[in-house]
Amino acid sequence: MADKKAPAAGWPVATGEYVVGNPESCVAVITLGSHGLDQAAIDAGAAISGPCHTENLGIEKVVVNYISNPNIRFMIVAGSEVQGHITGQCIVALYENGIGDDGGIIGAKGAIPFMENVGKEPVGRLQSQIVELINLIDTEDTGKISAAVKSCISKDPGAFDAEPMIIELDGGGAAASEDEGGLVIEGIPTVAEPDIESIKALNEALDYKVGLMTRDIGLASGVQTETITGLMYGSVFAIALVAIPIALKFLMG
């Protein structure tokens, strides 16, 4: 039987729309933009299965949950591709190419494929820990996904030879330390203080523009009303000017 390790306490450590199975399983499944596929993957023996919609924070959560469980050695990417984000292709690119100095996923085609909270070390850990990525993008056949899960389990090489790596996505600073038996790397803060003054200025500008638009609409409406009224009076006068001579001629014989 393959050697196993305990995942990080409270695993999965990052929240998300996933279904959790046996944490000692060697397979994790990403179902991209599809729903209704995850339970089949879990029933087939996957450790975790869930959708991933975005090519930045969504992929960061995948990385965080996978490297915090050394037992995960295979990654299956299935389900319908997420249009615009092209998340599946970005995940494949991350695994094959890693990220650049700016945090961008090398070779990714998504809209904003940047890892702001997960640096090169965690990405490198994912690349080393995952021995194979099975590309089933645009496959929603639960039979094929289940078969892929079982195939990976049959090749289980055992847990990765390192402690769980824990990434605090909402943390601050860039220091690394040992905590709870795993390597903790705190990421860049993902929550920024709002710029109240800028927001107020924006609101004032919007109010001013809305006022101008309202005034213009009112003026246009008034002009249109006056024009219609003028046309009505003109028509009445024209009819009167034509009708009066005719009536007088008729009365005078």
**Are 85 and 140 part of one and the same domain?**
yes
Query: Is the pLDDT assigned to residue 154 strictly greater than 70?
Result: yes
Q: Answer yes or no: pTM beyond 0.75.
A: no
φ, ψ at 54 (rounded to 5°): -110, 150
Report yes or no on 159 lying in a domain.
Answer: yes
DSSP lists the bridge partners of residue 20 as 48
Mean pLDDT over 126-143 rounds to 98
Report yes or no on 4 lying in a domain.
Answer: no
Both structure tokens of 99: 């990220």
35 marked ligand binding residue: no
Report yes or no on 63 lying in a domain.
Answer: yes
pLDDT digits (tens, 9 = 90+) for 159-200: 999 999 999 886 433 333 333 334 444 333 333 444 455 455
Distance CA 114, CA 99 (A): 8
Distance CA 37, CA 53 (A): 15
Both structure tokens of 70: 């050394």
Distance CA 44, CA 89 (A): 24
Q: Give the per-residue pLDDT at 232.
A: 72
The last residue of one of the domains, among 164, 183, 213, is 164
**Are 160 and 55 part of one and the same domain?**
yes
Mean pLDDT over 136-161 rounds to 98
**Are 143 and 45 part of one and the same domain?**
yes
Q: Give the per-residue pLDDT at 220.
A: 60
Cα end-to-end span (Å), the chain: 124
The answer to whether 116 and 56 are in contact (CB under 8 A) is yes
Number of domains in the chain: 2
Q: Give the per-residue pLDDT at 168.
A: 87
Classify 182 as helix, strand or coil: strand
What is the total residue count of the chain? 253
Cα separations (Å) of 96 from 107, 126, 206, 209, 212? 9, 10, 46, 49, 54
Which residues form the domain of 237? 196-253
Report yes or no on 11 lying in a domain.
Answer: no
**Are 48 and 147 part of one and the same domain?**
yes
Mean pLDDT over 31-56 rounds to 97
**Are 206 and 105 part of one and the same domain?**
no
Q: Give residues with Cβ within 8 angstroms of 240, minimum separation 6.
A: none
Q: What is the CATH number of the domain that holds 30?
A: 3.40.50
**Are 138 and 25 part of one and the same domain?**
yes
Neighbouring CB atoms inside 10 A of 76's CB total: 25
